[in-house]
Structure 1
Amino acid sequence: MQRLTEHIAAFSNSPLAALTEKTPWALTTNSVSAVRRLLNGISEEFCVSDDVAIHRTTTVEAGALVKGPAIIGPRCFIAAGSLIRGGCWLEENCIIGPGSELKSSFLFAGSKLAHFNFVGDSVVGARVNLEAGSIVANFRNELADPRIRILHAGEIVDTGVDKFGALIGDDCKLGANAVVAPGAIFERGTIIARLTSVDQRPS
């Protein structure tokens, strides 16, 4: 099992700590219920409406769309033209840039989708940066059997789910227009070059 705490240092001290023993794909598959549970204990520092909790220090520009359930932490910036949906949790100082979409995902402190990004069904560590146009896909529509299988550290991991994007460790960087195929695991500090295609499915 890929331990979330091995990839994301702050996981065990975060509001998600009770979910530490879950696999990342179990967490993203159940993101809606996980975020709804967190909403039950949300503090008065958040403005809450229609299953969306936004910290009072966060900026959400006109034209951004946030669909609940969602929790957006302190000092985040959600740009015009962005979309957050499917059960998302953002820690502090995160940026969702213009034209970006975040779906069923968890972002830790200081992570950024610069602009025109898609990240689906993923767990993203702290200080991760996605340059413009980089994509983390979440579904293999090119295969008759879309079940997500991953070749990682010489072992084949069968997730048992049809949708999963990536587990991205702290301090990773994805270059502009890089494409990550569904089902990826990146160790802390991994750098993906611009225009790179990454596919960790076993052949």
Structure 2
Amino acid sequence: MSKLVKTKALYSLVPEYLAPLFDSCEYPWEMLPKIKEYILSLIKMGIPGYTLISENVLVGENVRIYPTATIEGPAIIGSGSEVRPGAFIRGNVITGAGCVIGNSSELKNCILLDKVQIPHYNYIGDSVLGYKAHTGAGTICSNLKSDGKAVVIHGDVDYETGLRKIGGILADGADVGCGSVINPGTVIGKNTSVYPLTALRGVYPSDCIVKSTKEIVKRV
């Protein structure tokens, strides 16, 4: 399972402007401390078709931002994305193209690849979400342990991250049901679906259905 937590095993469809960041990190949580400076470097270089709409906020073409949404820089919002009413982007956020940032959802220090949907009342902090990943209404990425200690990723082996804040690491096509809690440092494999109201912890393999933390079945 150790390979299933590596960046290349979790993410296959990475936009060209994010490829250098993903390629430089063996494990996805290693990107988290680098997000701010990477965004600032992209803003300085510019991305074709993207426009600076306010200080350190770079937005692609055909983006819909509702008047009651708040975006604090540095941030990059991908082309064709939608930022719905009451959404709060707190800075250090990159979204790919065609993403949905839902009503009353909050994001900080995270990366969303293309076509990610966090459509209703979600919190996504210190997290990486892959292509077409989806979180159901009310799903929360808990990014800080109650004891405040550094997060350890519990797979077949334990990965000492040295980071106090890590939320969810969701691979391409991961789908988490409504009302679930993604505990700090949880990794969900490619195309794995999670039943609603599940408290997730640890590393979940790809192509599975997580019915509960004790019942995980392979897709047929």
With normalisation by structure 2, the TM-score equals 0.85
| Matched position secondary structure for 1:139 | coil
| Matched position secondary structure for 1:6 | helix
Q: Does 1:47 align with 2:51?
A: yes
Q: Which amino acid aligns with 1:95?
A: V
Q: Does 1:26 align with 2:27?
A: no
Q: 1:7 is matched with which residue: 5, 10, 14?
A: 10
1:107 match: 112
With normalisation by structure 1, the TM-score equals 0.92
Listed as ranges, the gaps of 5+ residues in structure 2 are: 204-220
Identical-residue share of aligned pairs (%): 26
Q: Does 1:120 align with 2:122?
A: no
After TM superposition, where is structure 1 displaced by more than 4 Å over at least 4 residues in a row? Answer: none
| Matched position secondary structure for 2:39 | helix
Tell me the number of residue pairs that the alignment of Structure 1 and Structure 2 aligns: 197
2:80 match: 75
Contact 2:68 2:86 in 1 (8 A): yes
Q: 1:179 is matched with which residue: 178, 181, 186?
A: 181
Q: Which amino acid aligns with 1:191?
A: S
For 1:148-182, what per-residue CA distance to the aligned partner results, in whole angstroms no more than 9, with x for missing partners?
00111x11111111011122100010100000111
Query: Could you tell me how far 1:44 is from its partner in structure 2?
Result: 5.1
Query: Could you tell me how far 1:55 is from its partner in structure 2?
Result: 1.4
Distance 2:151 2:91 in 1: 19
Distance 1:146 1:61 in 2: 38
| Matched position secondary structure for 1:39 | helix
Q: CA RMSD in A?
A: 1.5
| Matched position secondary structure for 2:159 | strand
| Matched position secondary structure for 2:120 | coil
Distance 2:175 2:48 in 1: 34
Q: 2:90 is matched with which residue: 85, 109, 113?
A: 85
Distance 2:56 2:79 in 1: 17
Query: Could you tell me how far 1:26 is from its partner in structure 2?
Result: 2.2
Q: Which amino acid aligns with 1:159?
A: T
Q: Which amino acid aligns with 2:162?
A: G
